[in-house]
Each structure stands twice: as C-alpha cells, then as structure tokens.
Structure 1
Amino acid sequence: MRVIEITGGVGPAEALVPAERADPQPAPGQVRIRARAAGVNRPDLLQRQGAYAPPPGASDIMGLEVAGEIDLIGEGVTDWKTGDRVCALLGGGGYAEYAVVDARHVLPIPDGLDVVQAAALPETVFTVFANVFEAGGLQAGETLLVHGATSGIGVTAIQMARAAGARVIATSRGADKAAAALALGADISLDATTDDLKAAIAEAGGADVVLDMVGADYAELNLGALKPGGRWVVIATLTGALAKVDLLKLMLKRIVLTGSTLRARPADEKARLTAAVRETVWPWVASGQVRPRIEATFPLENAAAAHQRLEGGRHVGKIVLTA
C-alpha cells in the first residue's frame, strides 16, 4: 500500500515522502478500512517534528482519523461488515491506503456526508465532546469561550455548543477569521489582533467554560473571563505550557482547571467515547447542525503541501488528504 513516511524520522514538511509498505491485517477485534480520506491535524505536525510520539502499539505512520469502507473483518467482530461506509478514530496510521483499527472506535458515515467530510470529523468531534461536554460540563443556556475558533477544533466546538443550546464567544486572529466564526454560529466573534478581549468578554457576561488551545499567553485572560464555578479546559499550549496563575482568584471563583489529550487514552475509554459520540453528536451531524468545514484537500502523496497549509495558519476548518 502507499503510505507517507518522514524521511529521517523527523523533519520539516518537506521530509514527508510517499513510500510503500505491506498491507496491514486486522487482529481479533479489529477491522481494516480502505481509507479514501484522512484528516490532517496539528498533532500530526508535532509528530513530524518529533514532539508527539505514537503511543505504545500504535502505527508510526501519521494520521489520527480516516474515512472509507471496511474491506476486512477481524476475528470476533460482529457489529460491522465488509462494504460498510465508516470513519474512525486512530492512534496512528491514517496517512495510508489501508488502516486497521479497533472495531469499537468506528462510526458509520452519516447520510449526506462524503468521505472527505467524514474524515474531518472523528478527531475534532471526540476532542470537543470529551473536553467541552464531559470535562467542561457545558450545559444548555451556558456560555462557551473558544479560542482559535477557526481551527478544525474551533469550528467543531462552535457548532456542537450551539447544537446543545449553549451560547458561544469566539476569538480568532484577523477580521476574516472573526467573520468566519460569526458565520459558523458564534454569538460573539472577537478579533484578537484588534479587539480588547478582556473588556469585550466581560461586557458579554463572561464564560462558564473556556476551551483553551492558546496556553500561557491567555492564562490571565481566561481566569478573568470565567464566571464563578467556571471550567477552564486546556487542550493545547501554542504559546507555551508554563503559565502564571493567580491561585487565590481561582479558589475564590471556584474555578476547575483541567486538561487532557486524546491519542493515548486506553482502548476501552475510546470505545466508551465512541458510543457516547454516536448517541449524542451523530444526530447533530445527521441533522446538519454539525458539519465539517473543509479548507482544502490534497492527494496523499502531497502530504507535505497539506502540512505547509496547516502550518501557515490561514485556514478555516479542516485540511484533508485523499487516497
């Protein structure tokens, strides 16, 4: 099968090169997917740079989500059959023509979505559900503050929060991105390059939940933005991981500060999340309330160009590889 490898094991985008490997075979409890599309995510960039190693047992090939059809069934799998149109959350192996995955981490492609759209769903939907709704406990009528609102995660967070009946304050960099976040459903969209974020968020009444992908530079802003009893959920640290936090203010406001990663979670936990996403989020996808926004597609062999596009930071939504 065709795959994408990293020349030297680590390097710039130009280090991504097509290669060939033996077709993987599903172990008991797994299925093999003929991958027609694979989402490109920031963790892929980190892995390419040597900063995010695959968890034990995962493929060294990049790619955390794919969509296509099942073509082989492992022993003991009864919920799927060959030919089923599916998307899946992977621990790795998505930048390839075939991917094997725990059958419990697979979801059907909802009617009305093509494989490119479906491949853009798992990593972002699972991340938002686990962090905003489970760890953050966002409820209808509450307010979510989401930074990096036009990233794949941000676009998904806006739509899922709105589908759940929550209000959304979005921040992004540049007037075009602020306009895009507003069009995606944010109630208030702020331009971090020109707006006074602290004043604007305070005027809007603050937030019950903050989804933070910025890290250190926004620590003080987030703590001030949260209402008493608020939840601050960190999923990335683009401006640094070491932040100065006023613990007394955190105590007085009864703030919960938490964070997580998705890739290294145990298989049983990912299976639980898959079932929860299918029950709660998949109806929103089927109804059109949640729809991936595709910024661009690239053929698998042009993965280097896809990484360059993501690193450029001008995208709105997801970048997807097609095979």
Structure 2
Amino acid sequence: MNLAIVFPNEDSFYRRMGIEIYENFESFQNLLKRAEKYSRMKLKDVLIYENCDYDWDIVSKRVAVLLTSIGFYQIWKEIYQTECDTLIGYGTGYLAALVCEGVLKEQDAISMLQKKKVNSGAVVETASSKTICLSKGRLPQSKQDILEEIEYCLWNTPDDRKWNEIIQKMDGKLLLEIGPDHKLSDRLQNVSCGAFTWLDREGDSAYILENFQMKKFFNRQYGVRRLLAVIASTQNYNPEEESQEKILECYSAVKKVLDVSLQGGGTKISDDDWNLCVEKVKENFAIKRTTKDEIKKRLEKLEKETFIEFQESFKDTVN
C-alpha cells in the first residue's frame, strides 16, 4: 500500500497518554511491563495512572513516547493487517520506527535514549531499510547510515526544513501519524502531500480506541456512514421546493446500501454499490448548489477520518 507511517519525538508527550489502549489491549500492558525492567521506570504508575509524583525530564519523555508509538503501531498493524512501504521518524521517533521495522530491539532503543550512546552491535545488519533518515533526506544505504542517524537524533533538534522536504516527497502517499497526539502535522508549512491523518489526540483518550474498535480506516461501510452524514448536514442553497424530494432520494439510495451491508452481518460493499453512493453524494451537492470550496473541505475531512481517497472519486466535481 502507498502508505507512510510517521513516528513523533518527545514533543508529542502528554500525561496519561495511551490509557484507553492500556486498559483494553493486553499487548500494550505487556509492552510496558517488559519496558519497566529495561527502563527502571514504573510506567504503569507514573505514565498511565499517575499514582505518584514523577519528574518528567526530556529523557523520560523520550522513553514514554517511544513505547507509546511502538504499542500503537503494533496494535494498528494487528487490526488493519496492512503493510506500509515507508517509515519516517521525527527526531528520536526514528528509534521507534527502527524497532517497528525490526532493525532495533525495544531494550536497546531505551538504553540508547537513557545513556545517549549508540550501541552499534544492537543495530541489525540489513540490506535495505524502509525508515527514512531525516537528517540525510533519504533512505539509509548502509548500517553506518542508520548508526549516524541515531547519533544525530540523540543529540540534535530535528530540522523542520528537512521535515517539510521529506513530507513534500511523499506527495500522493497516505501519511499516518501513529501517535501519541498529532503535533507533527501542525509542523507542516505550505507542503503538498497526500492525506495526512492520525490515530491519537491529546484530550480525547477514546479517540484512538474508537478507531480501533470501529476499524474506521479503509472501511467502506464506515465511509458510507459518513457519506450519509454529509448528505444530511450539507446546507441546501436551492430554493426550489422539489429539491427536497430529490435530496431525500439521494439519501435513501445511500442508506439502502448501508442497510443491506449491515443486514448481511457486515458484508463488504461492492465497487458498484460504492460508486453508486459516490454518485448520489455528487448529485446531492449539485442539487444543493454546494460550492467547490465546501465540497473540497468536506472531502479532506472525510479522508482524515477514513483514509479513503475521496478526493480522487470526486475529482470531476471539485476540479
């Protein structure tokens, strides 16, 4: 799949991050339990439940974000069964990406963060890596490239100019900020790229859990639900009385597709039914005389929520 996963650095830290995932996924509990031995941090007490006071210095934040990113990625991969072709680590997020790729072990990544020292023997010799070296602006060409990038990340602040350049090169890809939070997308300035969305956001602990439980991404059934909401919520600028009847026909046609899918125990929506729904939403926009600007904004929002490339389906409407 034309997908890139983005891993943040300690700037994305917030208190009690991952609490809903911890309480609902045993794999995340086990990850933190293992990491408590390596890190000598009581992660359950100080991060998840805040049962005691803790001085969150930069190193502790880095370890906490590293583990949260790894945990989110592992659960995301298990639920969606989707392979990505590129990993991008922002700052020390590079180490989390290497762990998820299998180039580095959890305990070695934690050790490097805490000691600020690169252990060359901990990095797996690999013919190719799909984790981009942000400081170099490219994929690593050798193990030495990976070691140099880790060293750079441990001691330097990420270069946002290079960050923008890397994301610019991802134009056409789907980009997923794995979390915690979604501060990285805010760092983009005047950058054109594919759909950029996120799993987690500070202040809404149920956001990521709802995504996993409903399997919102790449899910046509959920996409049809959202298209129904668009038909219902788009303002009607057409004063003609018969427009309401036509809008209702559009809504009913899309709802029928959803109902059939739900009655079939979650039957997958076929290409023909999906295309029918798209055409009915286009018809709805035309009847209501919705502006291209509003349509584009709604499609961008839908893409972030579903990771379905709606703008491609509606390009004849917005161009």
TM-score of the pair, normalised by structure 1: 0.30
Based on CA coordinates, which of the two structures has the bigger radius of gyration? 2
Instruction: Report the structure, 1 or 2, having the larger strand content.
Output: 1
Instruction: Report the structure, 1 or 2, having the larger helix content.
Output: 2
